[in-house]
Amino acid sequence: MVKQIADNFRKTKMGNQTEYFERIGYKPKYSIGDRVFGKYNKIPFIGSVGNDRLINEIDGPEVTVHLDLPMKTDKGFRSIIVVKHKDIKQKLTDFNEKPKGK
């Protein structure tokens, strides 16, 4: 009985900060360098993922994308954009792969 209680305590006890944040922390969908295709303000883009992060629960996760070609927006030219997961339509597996449906 005492051994069973000790085993349960060990399973529920928080080991250290690393284990704690691995358990409750955000698990990214995209890795650094993943090639992605999507639309930003109705403009199609292709680029590489720089970061997949969760700043807060209200805004949700966002992905920093380094574009292959600069994009002209109302604020000027951009080579890095921050998009939501829903804006990324496809993860490309090959540099020469064309987006589906084109």
* 102 in a structural domain: no
Domain count, the chain: 1
What is the CATH number for 56? 2.30.30
Look up the domain containing 51 and give its range. Answer: 27-92
The CA distance from 45 to 60, in Å, is: 21
Q: Is residue 35 predicted with pLDDT exceeding 80?
A: yes
The CA distance from 87 to 97, in Å, is: 19
What are the strands of the beta sheet with 61-73, ordered from one edge?
Answer: 76-84, 61-73, 43-54, 35-40, 88-92
* 69 in a structural domain: yes
Summary mean pLDDT of the chain: 84
Residues 56-70 pLDDT 10s: 889 999 999 999 999
How many helices and strands in the chain, by DSSP H and E?
2, 5
* 16 in a structural domain: no
Predicted structure pTM score:
0.72
Tell me, what amino acid is at 50?
Answer: G
Q: What is the pLDDT of residue 13?
A: 57
Residues 70-92 pLDDT 10s: 999 888 999 999 999 999 998 88
